[in-house]
C-alpha cells in the first residue's frame, strides 16, 4: 500500500514552503522516523520524517515550492528492506560440529565470530564505530557533519579527509542549488531575475505591514559604555570558565530593557483592533542575522534569567539560526525586540517595528567620541541608541522615559542584578 507524504502544517499563517533538500532519493528504502527532506518556510526550516517504512518515490524536485497538504512523495510500505549481502556469509561462518572441540579462543581473531553462552551459536560481533583521525574529526566537528552517513573509502571503510571534504562540497552544491532556483538572466546579461525565498518574502511583507499599520516614530539617545566595558573586562575570564560562554553586551541590554519595561509598562504592550493589550511578562526578541535573512528568536521570561542563562540562550539561538534549525515556536510571542546593527558597523539607524509589538530598541557601533564629563572633555566609548515605537499607543514622554532608563542602567550597571 502506498502511503502519501504530505506537507504538514508547521505553524500559524504558513501556507507554503520549498522542498530545499531531499535527504533520501526516489527508489531508496526508508525507515520509520528517518528524515526525508528539509522544508524551507517563510520563517524556519523543518525536517520532515517518514511516518512509515518502505520504498520511497518522490513527486517533486528539490527547490520546488509546495503548498501545505500537497503530496510530495509516496512510501510503499508493502516493500521490505532488501536483504544484505553479508547475511549468507554470516551463515557460512558457522563451523561444523566436529570443530567445536577446538580451542576457539586461541584460533580466532578479535573480529571473529562470537559464541553465545545461552544458545551455543556463533554470531557475528556487533560492528564497532570506525575511529576518526584527528584531521577528519576536526572537519566533522567544524562542519557539523554526521560521519555515519558518509561512505568511507579508506582501509576497512574508514573515513578519509577527502571523504569528509567531498561531503562538505556536496552539501554546498545542494545549498547553492536551492539559492539558484528559478534564476532568469536578462537577454543582454545586464541583470538577473530570481524568485525571492519564502523567508525574504515574509520579511518584506512584515516590514511593509509595519509601516502601513503603525504610526512609527523614533527617539534617540546615547550612552557611555565605559562601565559595562570595564565590568566585562574584569569578569570575563571567570564568567567564561564558569558558564562556557562569553559575557557579551546583549545580556546587559536585555536586562536594561526589562527594567525600562517595568518602569514604562505601555512599551511592553500592543494594539489589537480597538483594544490595547498590556503584557505583564517579558519575552524579549533578539534579532539575529543569517544568510537567509533576519530572524527574531524570543528569550522567554527574560526577567527571570541570569546573565549566564541569557548569554547561553542567545548563543544557542545564533547557532541554530545559522544552521536553519530554529523551530516555529522559537519565533513567536515576543513582547519587545532588540536589534544590534553595531555588529555590522552601523553607527546610526532607525529600526522598524516587529508587529504586533509596539517597541524596538536599536543598538549601534561603539565609537570613541569626545564628551563633557564633570566640565571636562574626555574621550569615551559611546553608543547611539534608537527606540522606534508605535505612537498610537505610546506618547513621546513615555518613549523618552524608557530610553533614559535604558541609558541609566547601562551607564550604571550596578542598578542591574549582577548575578555573575
Spell out the SS3 assignment of 166-213: HHHHHHHHHHHHHHCCCEEECCCCCCEEECCCHHHHHHHHHHHHHHHH
Q: Where are the domains of the chain?
A: 1-80, 131-195, 199-415
What confidence score (pLDDT) does residue 130 get? 63
CA distance 119 to 14: 56
Contact 39, 22 (CB under 8 A): no
pLDDT at residue 178, rounded to an integer: 54
**What pLDDT, on the 0 to 100 scale, is given for residue 110?**
45
The pTM of the full predicted model, rounded to 2 decimals, is 0.64
- 356 Cα distance to chain centroid: 23
State the Cα–Cα distance between residues 282 and 405, nearest whole angstrom: 16
The three cell numbers of residue 360 are 524596538
Strand partners, 376: 373
Query: How many Cα atoms occupy the beta-carbon half-sphere of 197 within 13 Å?
Result: 22
Known catalytic residues are 391, 395
The conformational region for residue 293 under phi > 0 = left, psi -120 to 50 = alpha, else beta, is left
pLDDT of the chain, 420 residues: tens digit per residue: 789 999 988 766 677 888 888 999 898 999 998 999 988 876 677 889 999 999 999 999 988 889 989 999 999 988 777 665 554 554 544 555 555 444 544 444 444 444 444 444 444 454 456 678 767 787 887 677 888 888 888 777 788 877 877 787 777 656 555 555 557 777 888 998 888 777 778 788 888 988 998 999 999 999 999 999 999 999 999 999 999 999 999 999 999 999 999 999 999 999 998 999 999 999 999 999 887 778 899 999 999 999 999 999 999 999 998 887 888 889 888 999 999 999 999 999 999 999 899 999 999 999 999 999 999 999 999 999 999 999 999 999 999 999 999 999 999 998 887 876
What is the Cβ-side half-sphere exposure of residue 365, based on CA atoms within 13 angstroms?
Answer: 10
238 with 387: CB under 8 angstroms? no
| Centroid of chain to Cα 401 | 34
- Taking the domain 1-80, which CATH number applies? 2.40.50.100
Residue 193 CA to residue 182 CA, distance in Å, equals 8
Please give the CATH architecture assigned to the domain spanning 199-415: 2-Layer Sandwich (3.30)
Specify the pLDDT at position 222.
96
CATH placement of domain 131-195: 4.10.320.10
With a CB cutoff of 8 Å and minimum separation 6, the contacts of 29 are 53, 54, 55, 56, 79, 81, 82
Amino acid at each position: 500500500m502506498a502511503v502519501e507524504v504530505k506537507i504538514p502544517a508547521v505553524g500559524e499563517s504558513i501556507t507554503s514552503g520549498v522542498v530545499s533538500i531531499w535527504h533520501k532519493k526516489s527508489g531508496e528504502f526508508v525507515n520509520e522516523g528517518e528524515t526525508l527532506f528539509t522544508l524551507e518556510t517563510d520563517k524556519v526550516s523543518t525536517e520532515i520524517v517518514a511516518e512509515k517504512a518502505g520504498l520511497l518515490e518522490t513527486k517533486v524536485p528539490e527547490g520546488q515550492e509546495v503548498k501545505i497538504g500537497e503530496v510530495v512523495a509516496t512510501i510503499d510500505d508493502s516493500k521490505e528492506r532488501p536483504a544484505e549481502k553479508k547475511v549468507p556469509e554470516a551463515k557460512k561462518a558457522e563451523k561444523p560440529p566436529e570443530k567445536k572441540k577446538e580451542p576457539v579462543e586461541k584460533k580466532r581473531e578479535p573480529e571473529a565470530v562470537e559464541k553465545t553462552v545461552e544458545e551455543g551459536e556463533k554470531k557475528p560481533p556487533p560492528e564497532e564505530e570506525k575511529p576518526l583521525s584527528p584531521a577528519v574529526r576536526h572537519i566533522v566537528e567544524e562542519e557539523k557533519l554526521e560521519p555515519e552517513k558518509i561512505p568511507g573509502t579508506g582501509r576497512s571503510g574508514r573515513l578519509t579527509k577527502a571523504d569528509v571534504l567531498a561531503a562538505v562540497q556536496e552539501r554546498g552544491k545542494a545549498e547553492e542549488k536551492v539559492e539558484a532556483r528559478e534564476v532568469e538572466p536578462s537577454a543582454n546579461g545586464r541583470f538577473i531575475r530570481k524568485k525571492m525565498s519564502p523567508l525574504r518574502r515574509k520579511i518584506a511583507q512584515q516590514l511593509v505591514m509595519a509601516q502601513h499599520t503603525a504610526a512609527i516614530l523614533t527617539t534617540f539617545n546615547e550612552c557611555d559604555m565605559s562601565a559595562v566595558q570595564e565590568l566585562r573586562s574584569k569578569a570575563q575570564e571567570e564568567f567564561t570558565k564558569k558558564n562556557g560562554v562569553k559575557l557579551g553586551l546583549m545580556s546587559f541590554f536585555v536586562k536594561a530593557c526589562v527594567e525600562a519595561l517595568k518602569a514604562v509598562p505601555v512599551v511592553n504592550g500592543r494594539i489589537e483592533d480597538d483594544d490595547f493589550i498590556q503584557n505583564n511578562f517579558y519575552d524579549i526578541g533578539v534579532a539575529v542575522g543569517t544568510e537567509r535573512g533576519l530572524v527574531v528568536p524570543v528569550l522567554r521570561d527574560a526577567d527571570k534569567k541570569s546573565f549566564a542563562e541569557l548569554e547561553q540562550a542567545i548563543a544557542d539561538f545564533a547557532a541554530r539560526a545559522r544552521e536553519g534549525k530554529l523551530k516555529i515556536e522559537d519565533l513567536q510571542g515576543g513582547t519587545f525586540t532588540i536589534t544590534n546593527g553595531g555588529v555590522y558597523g552601523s553607527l546610526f539607524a532607525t529600526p522598524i517595528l516587529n508587529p504586533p509589538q509596539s517597541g524596538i530598541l536599536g543598538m549601534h557601533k561603539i565609537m570613541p567620541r569626545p564628551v563633557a564629563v564633570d566640565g571636562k572633555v574626555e574621550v569615551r566609548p559611546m553608543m547611539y541608541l534608537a527606540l522606534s515605537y508605535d505612537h498610537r499607543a505610546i506618547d513621546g514622554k513615555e518613549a523618552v522615559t524608557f530610553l533614559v532608563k535604558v541609558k541609566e542602567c547601562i551607564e550604571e550597571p550596578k542598578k542591574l542584578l549582577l548575578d555573575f
